[in-house]
Amino acid sequence: MTTQVIKQDEVGRIATTAARLQGNIEQVIVGKGDIVVLCLVAILSEGHLLIEDVPGTGKTVLAKAMARSLGCTFRRIQGTPDLLPTDITGTYVFNQQSAEFEFRPGPIMSQVLLVDEINRATPRTQSALLEAMQERQVTVEGETKALAPPFLVMATQNPVELEGTFPLPEAQLDRFLMQVNMGYPSQEEDKLILRRFRKEDPLNQLEAVVQSTELLELQELVRKIHVSAPVEDYLINLVHATRSHPMVELGASPRAMLALYRTSQGIAAIRGRAYVIPDDVKALAEYVLAHRVVPKVQSQLRGTSARDILRDVINSVPVPVEEEAWPE
């Protein structure tokens, strides 16, 4: 079996398109260039994004800007305790004129789906997203319906307000490629936001930079980004270090390993390289693995978070030397 090699002009195409997308989105999103890049990594790696932050920090605007820039359809779901699975997937409704049941698609039949405050939905409703996120399909009344690619779920949750919420189980968290935090803007960024949104919403002026068909081509190209054997070993060692860490109850799964592999290819392509280096893996390890690692109860009582453990793991695992990790 021969490995497909990506050409440098194809890498340049990915990097140029990513730069155009980032510039377009940052017409609306101020001071969050690193978050925008992570969103682009997620979409190029065919994954989903979990954004954990307080209300009003721009999560919904980011999802809308992403959808418009990609020329994709966008739908939004507000998580509430009375939200039903059929409110997401759609249902069959009897048409009196034709005397037949016809399918009315739910919001999941879009290409970019924002699930706002996902932890306010019941576990039964949350589970309706599992099949869609992993298999890119939904099953309604025993009938399977494929979702149009590309398909990206951006879900948000408020880490402060816990009353009336249902924490996402590990199986659900594992379906998200990355977890990121928006954070509050700085004073200078707040000034820019006021000036930019003073007269009109810049989101209304945003136009598509690429179309969904071109995005699918870019996703295929990202899969060709070269990962050398030493970098693969380094990635595997990072994952195994989370499983053997004395402060960890549940380490990173094989799905987490694959996610780190794919995202490393994505960030390398965005940075204009045809190969992955250890710095790519290190840059994304915290975002890809932290929400999949469960610290022991004793660690949580001491105030040690999964991100703290990941930083310790990253610092403890030896990094391949340049001669081994870089291709000739």
pLDDT in tens, 212-267: 889 999 999 999 999 999 999 999 999 999 999 899 888 899 999 999 999 999 99
pLDDT(64) > 90 = no
User: Which is nearest to 285 in space by CA: 263, 254, 255?
Assistant: 263
Q: How confident is the model at residue 324 (pLDDT cuts 50, 70, 90)?
A: low
Q: What pLDDT, on a 0 to 100 scale, did the predictor assign at position 178?
A: 94
Q: How confident is the model at residue 305 (pLDDT cuts 50, 70, 90)?
A: confident
Burial class (CB in 10 A: 0-12, 13-18, 19+), 29: buried
Neighbours of 180 (CB within 10 A): 22
Residue identified by tokens 């919001």 is 107
Q: How confident is the model at residue 143 (pLDDT cuts 50, 70, 90)?
A: confident
For 3-16, how does the pLDDT look when each residue is reduced to its tens digit (9 = 90+)?
577 888 999 999 99
SS3 104: strand
Q: What pLDDT, on a 0 to 100 scale, did the predictor assign at position 327?
A: 58
pTM of the prediction?
A: 0.89
| Strand locations in 11-80 (E) | 49-52, 74-78
Alpha helices in 75-144 (DSSP H): 85-89, 123-135
Domains in the chain, ordered, with CATH? 20-81+111-137+145-223 (3.40.50.300), 225-328 (1.10.8.80)
CA dist 164 and 146 (Å) reads 33
Q: What pLDDT, on a 0 to 100 scale, did the predictor assign at position 238?
A: 94
Q: How confident is the model at residue 73 (pLDDT cuts 50, 70, 90)?
A: confident
Beta pairing class for 74-78 and 112-116: parallel
> Span 285-302, mean pLDDT?
88
CA dist 319 and 281 (Å) reads 10
> Span 167-173, mean pLDDT?
83
pLDDT(325) > 70 = no
pLDDT(160) > 90 = no
pLDDT(326) > 80 = no
CA dist 289 and 130 (Å) reads 19
211: left (phi over 0), alpha (psi -120 to 50) or beta: beta
CA dist 326 and 229 (Å) reads 10
**What residues contact residue 72 under an 8 Å CB cut-off, 6+ apart?**
110, 111, 112, 150, 152, 212, 215
pLDDT(180) > 80 = yes
| Strand locations in the chain (E) | 49-52, 74-78, 90-95, 100-105, 112-116, 137-140, 143-146, 152-157, 178-180, 248-250, 294-295
Share of the chain above pLDDT 70, in %: 96
Query: Using an 8 Å Cβ cutoff, are 307 and 181 in contact?
Result: no
Q: What pLDDT, on a 0 to 100 scale, did the predictor assign at position 2?
A: 45
Q: How confident is the model at residue 1 (pLDDT cuts 50, 70, 90)?
A: very low
Whether omega for the bond prior to residue 150 falls within 30 degrees of 0, making it cis, is: yes
Record the tokens describing residue 243, joined without a space.
């499983």
Across the chain, mean pLDDT equals: 88
Q: What pLDDT, on a 0 to 100 scale, did the predictor assign at position 322?
A: 63
Q: How confident is the model at residue 323 (pLDDT cuts 50, 70, 90)?
A: low
Q: What pLDDT, on a 0 to 100 scale, did the predictor assign at position 281?
A: 95
